[in-house]
Amino acid sequence: MLLDPQQTQADQALLQLGKRLRADGYRFTCVTPATHARVNARPGAERARTLRDVFGWSRPFPASLLSADELEQLRRAQVLHERGELLASHVRWATLESLLLVHSAYPTEAADAVFFGPDSYRFAQVIHDHLQRTPKRVEHAVDIGCGTGVGALLIAQAVPHAQVSAVDINPLALRYTAINAALAGLSNVSVEPSDVLDGITGRFDLIVANPPYMLDAGERTYRHGGGSLGAALSLRIVEQACERLSPGGSLLLYTGVAISEGRDALLEAVRLRLAGPEWSWVYREMDPDVFGEQLDERGYEQVERIAAVVLTVTRNG
């Protein structure tokens, strides 16, 4: 995907910054917010000393740390702000294999923050595994709630003949996805606003989603899953996606589930929804215990763990 020449100067500046970082060999693997906080709290981590500190660890930095060109790109992108005598970037850059992805700086407190972290890497593995073993040719695919666009970009890379849609209700997510697709040189990705699949038409050979699954007091888009324990959006995706699969098409849902007294409410709902010969499906725990710090939050008093799960649904026919 190439950015439209009419796109804002800020988008073009972020794209140029990404190209500069990639040429410099920049790499950074994102961790959980809890780990990020611990690492940044160490003595000596108060300010940045490297590009990874600036664009990975989101640490404040002196202007002398970056080149004049990098500072200019940050200013043009309108993501540079002052912290006393130091500066800070409103964006981070993460790497996943050959991809370099722009997303929101730590901490992701804004309502429209675009998050990238350990779940993104697990989601990527789910997609890779499916594409390696599925016999169905993928012509049309969609990444629901695309965030940074990682799902759409991985599919577009692996299946260059496919037309891949990246959809989200968050305009900032769509903006970052477009920049990330352009940086990856992908021409088969389209970016469209949509609430789940309400805003787009047609059927798909592959639907992927990594939705938010927490209860979030601020109801931030990237984090709040809705319902009593964060599973409402995942269930809604299952409902809408299954109706839009082509024969032989698959849904890959990577999400999290709050487990109370050994009970998985999402699995119970899936069993009811996918009963019958029309569907073949597999549900598995990918990680039995993620984001344990969330258990201290209101609403989680009866939750014993949060599990990362993968649901694969295939429409028979």
User: What pLDDT, in 10s, does the model give residues 219-237?
Assistant: 777 777 788 788 899 999 9
User: What pLDDT, in 10s, does the model give residues 240-289?
Assistant: 999 999 999 999 999 999 999 999 999 999 999 999 999 999 999 999 99
Parallel, antiparallel or unpaired: strands 189-193 and 163-168: parallel
Q: Which residues contact 113 (CB under 8 A, 6 or more apart)?
A: 104, 172, 220, 221, 222
Contact between 91 and 179 under an 8 Å Cβ cutoff? The reply is no
User: What's residue 1's pLDDT?
Assistant: 61
The Cα-based distances of 85 to 63, 71, 88, 137 in angstroms read: 9, 15, 10, 55
Contact between 103 and 177 under an 8 Å Cβ cutoff? The reply is no
CA-nearest of 56, 54, 43, 109 to 86 is 54
The Cα-based distances of 221 to 60, 65, 147, 226, 317 in angstroms read: 26, 33, 10, 10, 36
Length of the chain: 317
pTM to 2 decimal places: 0.94
Spatial distance between the Cα atoms of 192 and 288, rounded to a whole number of angstroms: 34
Confidence of residue 120 (pLDDT cuts 50, 70, 90): very high
Contact between 214 and 170 under an 8 Å Cβ cutoff? The reply is no
Spatial distance between the Cα atoms of 285 and 310, rounded to a whole number of angstroms: 6
Confidence of residue 2 (pLDDT cuts 50, 70, 90): low
Assign 260 to helix, strand or coil. strand
Spatial distance between the Cα atoms of 72 and 94, rounded to a whole number of angstroms: 21
Residue 56 has pLDDT above 90, yes or no: yes
User: What pLDDT, in 10s, does the model give residues 162-191?
Assistant: 999 999 999 999 999 999 999 999 999 999
Residue 4 has pLDDT above 70, yes or no: no
Q: Give the pLDDT mean for 123-151.
A: 95
Q: Mean pLDDT over all residues of the chain? A: 94
Residue 309 has pLDDT above 70, yes or no: yes
Q: Give the pLDDT mean for 197-206.
A: 95
User: What's residue 3's pLDDT?
Assistant: 63
Contact between 176 and 202 under an 8 Å Cβ cutoff? The reply is no
Residue 128 has pLDDT above 70, yes or no: yes
Higher per-residue pLDDT: 26 or 111:
26
CA-nearest of 94, 72, 56 to 12 is 72
**What CATH number is given for 118-315 in this structure?**
3.40.50.150
Spatial distance between the Cα atoms of 296 and 50, rounded to a whole number of angstroms: 34
Parallel, antiparallel or unpaired: strands 99-104 and 140-144: unpaired
Q: Give the pLDDT mean for 195-201.
A: 93
Helices (H), 80-195: 118-133, 150-158, 171-184
| Angle, in degrees to the nearest 10, between helices 9-23 and 171-184 | 40
Q: Where are the domains of the chain?
A: 9-104, 118-315
Assign 12 to helix, strand or coil. helix
User: What pLDDT, in 10s, does the model give residues 24-37?
Assistant: 999 999 999 999 99
